[in-house]
Structure 1
Amino acid sequence: MVECPDLFPVADPGDQNGLDYAPSNGAAWHVLKLSVMATLQDYYVVGRYDDSADTFAPAAGSDNDSRTWRRLDYGHVYASKSFFDARKNRRVLWGWANESDAEADYVARGWSGVQTVPRKVWLDRDGKQLLQWPIEEIETLRKKRVELLGAKVNSGGVNKVIGIAGSQADVEVVFEIPALEGAENLEPNGLLDPQKLCGEKGASVRGGVGPFGLLVLASGDLHEHTSVFFRVFKHDGKYKVLMCADLTRSTTRADVYKPSYGGFVDMDIQETRSISLRTLIDHSVVESFGGGGQTCITARVYPEHAKISNNHMYMFNNGTGMVKVSKLEAWELATATVNVA
């Protein structure tokens, strides 16, 4: 069973402007998105819609089975819907970060599920996938700022981002990878289940190139932390970038849902030798955008230390080689003013 369908037009590949409607001759690109109840995941495919014939055809190489389509978010997002913002000529996507714990937890917290940060969506230059990025209005909440340039995170290193309280924060970082030769080999079927791969190759499992990334919502002693990271593998003569959110140490409580999430980032890391990560933190929600919004992972986390102490943020590298942080900018975020005249 599928629900919450969304069929919307998108501009030509690489054009970030949104479309409210498209010509009826089937020439314009469209995105068909479905929410699949069996997996509680949102899937989408790019194709062409013919208004006169009322038919949608996925692009060449795409399957008609929605379970084989790309995911909008490789974490805890379901039942998303989009709308056209005529004022700023953009397509905006809203997602729902639902819950997976016991009902008693929902009652104690006072809520069950929350909307994600609105995201602007547009078609990538290759025409194969959507790019997603937090709407620009989020940046108006930025206040206290810190910046790092040219920092190095050595093998096994954990570097604290000083000056930012981590309960409401926005961080953008670019990692440079000096060498790829140490990348681990990936089994032939290793691309089939990135979430399982992230579970097996978590942040604490040493690798060749990675894992490297951020530790957020972390306690001062690091007994609790949520890790968002990348890991590079070698597969069939090419390099593949895996992005993960590892929740296994997000809380010391044993009776809450704390999985590992994962998705591959469709990029040529051998050519770029760098990858970007933006992570938005809002208490129990961690939304991460890898490779400029190519791969998105949303997580729900409930660390115990947050009840009595501050959250912290770190950079880490558990690979064998050094990773360079060419740029890191982090901001504390103010509370949004919502539904106030």
Structure 2
Amino acid sequence: MEATPSFHAPFLHRPSAGTTPFKGFAVVVSLLSLVALIVHHLPDTPSAALKPTPMQPRGVAEGVSAKSNPSLLNQPPFNWTNAMFSWQRSAYHFQPEKNWMNDPNGPLYHKGWYHLFYQYNPYLAIWGNITWGHAVSRDLIHWLYLPLAMVPDRWYDIYGVWSGSATFLPDGQILMLYTGKTNESVQVQNLAYPANLSDPLLLHWLKYPGNPVLVPPPGIQPDDFRDPTTAWLGPDGTWRLTLGSKFDTTLGISLVYQTKNFRDYELLDGVLHAVPGTGMWECVDFYPVAINGSVALDTSALGPGIKHVLKASLDDTKVDHYAIGSYDPVTDKWTPDNPEEDVGIGLKVDYGRYYASKTFFDQHKQRRVLWGWINETDTETADLQKGWASLQTIPRTVLYDNKTGTNILQWPVEEVESLRMNSTMFKEVLVEPGSVVPLDIGTATQLDIVAEFEIEPLDISSTTNQVLDCGGGAVDRSTYGPYGLLVIADASLSELTPIYFRPLNASDGSLETYFCTDTTRSSKASDVFKQVYGGKVPVLDDEKYNMRVLVDHSIVESFAQGGRTVVSSRIYPTEAIYGAARLFLFNNASGVNVKATLTIWEMNSAFIRRFPFEGDDSV
């Protein structure tokens, strides 16, 4: 199909009505060591003797959480309508029927069903009353809501059933370790397991009578000890797990425990890893990747040809960082390949609005699958009005990028392609400097876009003093960019969200490329956060620039160069909604033409709903 160029003046700078939500953090202090500690808490009874603990009524909530949206002070409230709120709700991303959701917890595959547990407030669309929500799917896309899995009903989790992870034992047993906040506001680790392992839906969970199984060791503050990982089996036959903490205020650390029975634990010498200046680590993830880049590995995989990814969610900045390195299973220490890109100071899992991610090994399809939480960027007042807040990303596969050797590759699971409907193709569309080209595709609110860009040969012999980042957004022109897509835009371009590449000359004469999302003009509303997201993306000499973009109403997920760099964002347009939403190509470079080849699919809804239990007339 042909696209007709529409020549406009290059994007002009317009001051954003939004504000920047997070501040950077400074690197301070030097690495400190921790004393080896041993913690024993539980009676020495065999695993088979674990007895059921009947559930009690839920506990009370306490206070507010930093996971809640920051206040948008001094911003006049926008007059949102129910139609606008209805449009914002996603069609094929997972989110509960109503109320608040945050971290993904304990994802797993069991007897034909994928399970997702998640932090959930059953009562309001703001953080609090944290329980474990539960949903199942045959394909990671079409989800069915189940009853709550765990509620805060014990002294050791009365102030919240917080995040945790699942571990499969060799005999098929499933153990869930999770953080609870006690009646004295201490973070402790607890054990739970299915009441009936033969139940494919895993409807009922039992809490171990000996909980908590771990308490904060000496030197760790009672509120800095949380989010245990999936355990891995060491070469000595004992299990290890790590969890997040901090020491001396700013030293982010991951503690390592070993256990033979998941009741008695030993805190190993030192830490798995620590990075000064990164603050509290939470939702730590630790998993192996094959350096051939072609297969995923079980969490316990060790040996030659394997590296390990260490990821931490930084509580101070609400950003997920990762690094690739080497794990020594004898000393239980992890070392980054590149100390300059260590955890918290280098690569991000996602350069947008994304947090608390967690992977699991899908034994059904032999792949590692990544979940991540996408928070709102509007106000809590608006969330209470619409009755819901937050969603999860489309699950992503994770592999090691053996072409660069420096990063992971994230890609939407193949099952999302089952939602593709009508497709439209555009081949080698010329986009001249300063032009915007409309793409006639009809409805543009639920899309899967695959785009490839060719630019004229670049003369990078002359360097410039340009800042090497996403700049001031799509209005910030340079010789070679930005160029890309305008999603969820209205016909007059008064609201739009650019997804773009920005190639720049580095001081050494090389070319660096940044992949970015600019939400500063995504909405006319003043009471939403609007900023420019993005990061550097490696583009090899024999590669064309390519991106994939999933558009689903108020959520946009963008993947560059096969998933080397990913940016997720939330947008809240007031006019570019329903039939008014359009899609455009743009080129804001000052010196090069761009040719774009695209395939665009309209996406169906995933029709997420309650599980159809027999006799349930509410379904």
1:247-262 equivalent positions in 2, closer than 5 A: 247-262=519-534
Maintained 8 Å contact 1:157/1:317:
yes
* Structure 2 counterpart of 1:77: 354
* Structure 2 counterpart of 1:227: 498
* Structure 1 counterpart of 2:485: 214
Asked if 1:9 corresponds to 2:280, the answer is: no
Of 104, 115, 133, the match for 2:381? 104
- 1:195-233: CA deviations, max 9, x gaps? xxx242x21233211110000001121100000011111
- Give the Cα separation in 2 of the matches to 1:330 and 1:183: 36
* Structure 2 counterpart of 1:338: 608
* Structure 2 counterpart of 1:276: 546
Q: Which amino acid aligns with 1:296?
A: V
Q: With the length of structure 2 as denominator, give the TM-score of the two structures.
A: 0.51
Maintained 8 Å contact 1:183/1:233:
no
Maintained 8 Å contact 1:144/1:164:
no
Of 264, 287, 298, the match for 2:536? 264
Return closer, same or farther for 1:142/1:247 CA change in 2, 3 Å cut-off.
same
1:137-286 equivalent positions in 2, closer than 5 A: 137-181=415-459, 185-187=463-465, 190-191=467-468, 194=469, 198-200=470-472, 202-235=473-506, 236-268=508-540, 271-272=541-542, 274-286=544-556
Maintained 8 Å contact 1:164/1:331:
no
- 1:92-115: CA deviations, max 9, x gaps? 100111123321011123222110
Q: Which amino acid aligns with 1:83?
A: F
- Give the Cα separation in 2 of the matches to 1:182 and 1:160: 30
Of 293, 300, 304, the match for 2:574? 304
| SS across alignment from 1:138 | helix
Return closer, same or farther for 1:116/1:184 CA change in 2, 3 Å cut-off.
farther
1:165, distance to aligned residue in structure 2 (A):
1.4
Q: Which amino acid aligns with 1:264?
A: K
- Give the Cα separation in 2 of the matches to 1:136 and 1:103: 34
- Give the Cα separation in 1 of the matches to 2:370 and 2:464: 34
Return closer, same or farther for 1:45/1:337 CA change in 2, 3 Å cut-off.
same
Return closer, same or farther for 1:52/1:273 CA change in 2, 3 Å cut-off.
closer
Maintained 8 Å contact 2:460/2:511:
no
Return closer, same or farther for 1:184/1:330 CA change in 2, 3 Å cut-off.
farther
Return closer, same or farther for 1:136/1:221 CA change in 2, 3 Å cut-off.
same
- 1:284-328: CA deviations, max 9, x gaps? 100000111111000100000145643110011111221011x20
1:286-301 equivalent positions in 2, closer than 5 A: 286-301=556-571
Query: Which structure is larger by alpha-carbon Rg, 1 or 2?
Result: 2
- Give the Cα separation in 2 of the matches to 1:183 and 1:212: 21
| SS across alignment from 2:482 | strand
- Give the Cα separation in 2 of the matches to 1:300 and 1:294: 21
Maintained 8 Å contact 1:24/1:50:
no
Maintained 8 Å contact 2:454/2:594:
yes
- 1:273-294: CA deviations, max 9, x gaps? 6200110001110000011111
Unaligned runs of 5+ residues in structure 1 are none
| SS across alignment from 1:204 | coil
Return closer, same or farther for 1:228/1:64 CA change in 2, 3 Å cut-off.
closer
1:257, distance to aligned residue in structure 2 (A):
0.4
* Structure 1 counterpart of 2:242: none
1:54-133 equivalent positions in 2, closer than 5 A: 54-59=332-337, 61-63=338-340, 66-125=343-402, 126-133=404-411
- Give the Cα separation in 1 of the matches to 2:555 and 2:460: 33
Q: Which moved more, 1:61-70 or 1:86-95?
A: 61-70
- Give the Cα separation in 1 of the matches to 2:341 and 2:534: 23
Maintained 8 Å contact 1:288/1:297:
yes
1:163, distance to aligned residue in structure 2 (A):
1.9
- Give the Cα separation in 1 of the matches to 2:460 and 2:445: 35
Maintained 8 Å contact 2:292/2:305:
no
- Give the Cα separation in 2 of the matches to 1:23 and 1:167: 41
Structure of higher RCO (CA pairs closer than 8 Å, 6+ residues apart): 1
| SS across alignment from 1:99 | coil
- Give the Cα separation in 2 of the matches to 1:45 and 1:297: 17
1:24, distance to aligned residue in structure 2 (A):
4.6
Maintained 8 Å contact 1:182/1:208:
no
- Give the Cα separation in 1 of the matches to 2:573 and 2:534: 21
Q: With the length of structure 1 as denominator, give the TM-score of the two structures.
A: 0.90
| SS across alignment from 2:416 | helix
| SS across alignment from 1:91 | strand
Return closer, same or farther for 1:181/1:238 CA change in 2, 3 Å cut-off.
same
Two-structure CA RMSD over aligned residues (Å): 2.1
Maintained 8 Å contact 1:285/1:299:
yes
Return closer, same or farther for 1:25/1:207 CA change in 2, 3 Å cut-off.
closer
- 1:231-250: CA deviations, max 9, x gaps? 11111110011111111110
Structure number with higher helix proportion? 1
| SS across alignment from 1:108 | helix
- Give the Cα separation in 2 of the matches to 1:285 and 1:323: 27
| SS across alignment from 2:383 | helix
Maintained 8 Å contact 2:323/2:341:
no
Return closer, same or farther for 1:183/1:93 CA change in 2, 3 Å cut-off.
farther
Unaligned runs of 5+ residues in structure 2 are 1-279, 613-619
| SS across alignment from 2:443 | coil
- Give the Cα separation in 1 of the matches to 2:323 and 2:303: 19
Q: Which amino acid aligns with 2:283?
A: C
Of 392, 396, 414, the match for 1:136? 414
Return closer, same or farther for 1:107/1:208 CA change in 2, 3 Å cut-off.
same
Maintained 8 Å contact 1:97/1:116:
yes
Asked if 1:53 corresponds to 2:324, the answer is: no
